[in-house]
Structure formats: C-alpha cells, structure tokens
Amino acid sequence: MELTKEHLERIKDSLPVERGNVSIDVLSFLNGVLYVAENGCKWRRLPERFGNWHTIYTRMNRWSKSGVWDRVFERLQKEGLVHLELKVVSLDSTSVKVHPDGTGAGEKNGPQAIGKSRGGRNTKIHLAAANDVHALGFRLSPGQNGDGPEGRELIGELGCPRHGCALAMDMAYEGNETRGLACLLGFKPVVPPNPLRRKPWKLNKALYRQRNHVERLFRRIKGFRRVFTRYDKLDVLFRSFVSFALSWLLLNSANRS
C-alpha cells in the first residue's frame, strides 16, 4: 500500500498547512501513518525511509485532536455520495480487542470507549454502510454497550435519507424504539422479527441480503492491524485510524470500478 501524489491531490484541501521548519513532507508523513495503520507496529518501529518516527507520531496526534482525519473522511464520503444511487443502508457493529498497551490512561486525558465483555476488554465500532467500501458514518462505544441504543444514535446522526431508502439490520435492532426511529427519519426498516413476537412481520429477504455490505466493509477495514486490534488508549487516536482506513478505501474505490 502506498499513497500517491494523485491521492494527495484529492485530499490536500482538507489538510492543515504545516508552518515553520517542516522536516517531513506531507506525502512521506501520510505513508508513514499508512504503514503503521496497515502493519500495527509501534511508532518507533517505523522504517527510516519515512523520516523520524517521533515527528510523524507527534503530527498524527496533533491532527487527530484537531479532527483532520474526520474532515478527510467526510469530504471523500460526500464526493462518493454524488455518484451513488442509495437504495439500501446496512447497519451493524463489530468488536475490536483492546491490546494491553491500549489501557491505563486516566479519565481526565479524554474519552476511552473501552469496556469489558466475556471476551475481555474491547471496543465496538458501530457503522452504517452504503456498500462494501462506502461508510456513511460510525461511532465508538464500550464493548458491553447494546447495539440497539448505539444504532439509534448513529442513524439519528445520519439524518433523513433519500426517499424510499431501506435500512437493513440484524435482530439486535428489531426493537420497537429502533424501528420507530428509522421510520420517523424516513427509512424503511428491514430487520427479522424476534421469533417470540406475537405479530411478526414479513421480512424482505432480497433487501435483507444486502446487509452483507457492512460485513464486507468491516472485513476490509480490519485488514488494517491498527483497526483489527486497538493499541490506542484514547478514542481520539483510535477513531482517527478508523477514519484513515475508511478514507483509504474511498480513495481507491475508483480503481475497483
């Protein structure tokens, strides 16, 4: 994997201008971040060809705290939506194991969506997808949080969809509150009913099969070791790696068509 000048040209307007004596150019910096994201290595293990590891880490940390990676993702997302005929949105979550290096920060340092479940310490990524490369939005939560409440927060952030857009979800989202909010926003919920319901509804299986888009998107971003395992103590840095991975997919989506 490598970011090219063509990639940089598409996102440069969303990147801050580095002032002063800048020892590492933007493209080398971005490729250093890509190397860490893909391989999951420690910052100090960055190959020397990218430049000083501490300089790259410091800039990554600064850009994360100022929301640069979220802005890049949002820009590419809006560009992609222009060319999409959005008929089905798929919603789901995935659990990410937290490495011991990702624990131990004090609460005063910032939000840390890290919880405990039967599998140990983990973080959940809740994500809404238009297809297997195009995410519409995501949020983080501690691993023990339920999918229903977090899913409602996410679809609330998405806002009103285009007319007639279906929302494909698994049974974790089949509660009345989640389906009611989806309808209120203009979605057509496509979710299997709980077998214990007295009046189950008929499931549109053709639309429900498209829920695999979000599963395939999770598989793609978990190809980045820094997303597959959480090594970062604070949400602000882990979230940036998720945004970075999603942005990489959007940057390269044109090459897949």
| The pLDDT value given to residue 82 | 61
b/e string for 7-28 if b means 16 or more Cβ within 10 A? bbebbeebbeeeeeeeebebee
Question: Encoding tokens for residue 125?
Answer: 């990524």
Q: Tens digit of pLDDT for each residue in 63-116?
A: 999 999 999 998 888 887 666 778 889 999 999 999 988 887 777 677 788 988
Q: Are 90 and 188 in contact (CB under 8 A)?
A: no
- Least confident stretch, 1-5, 18-22, 31-35, 140-144: 18-22
| The pLDDT value given to residue 257 | 43
CA distance 238 to 93: 16
Ordered by start, the domain boundaries in the chain are: 85-233
Report CA 37 to chain centroid distance, whole Å: 13
CA distance 200 to 251: 42
Beta strands in 84-191 (DSSP E): 88-98, 115-117, 120-129, 135-142, 166-168, 188-190
Report the candidate in 222, 224, 220, 221 with the shortest Cα–Cα distance to residue 34. Answer: 224
Phi, psi angles (nearest 5°) of residue 52: -65, 125
Q: Quick one: fold of 85-233?
A: Nucleotidyltransferase; domain 5 (3.30.420)
Q: Tens digit of pLDDT for each residue in 136-195?
A: 999 999 988 888 999 999 988 887 666 678 999 999 898 999 999 988 888 899 999 988
Counting residues of the chain whose pLDDT is more than 90, the rounded percentage is 51
Residue 36 clears pLDDT 50, i.e. is over it: yes
pTM of the model: 0.89
Report the candidate in 53, 63, 11, 10 with the shortest Cα–Cα distance to residue 28. Answer: 53
What is the mean pLDDT of the segment spanning 196-221?
91
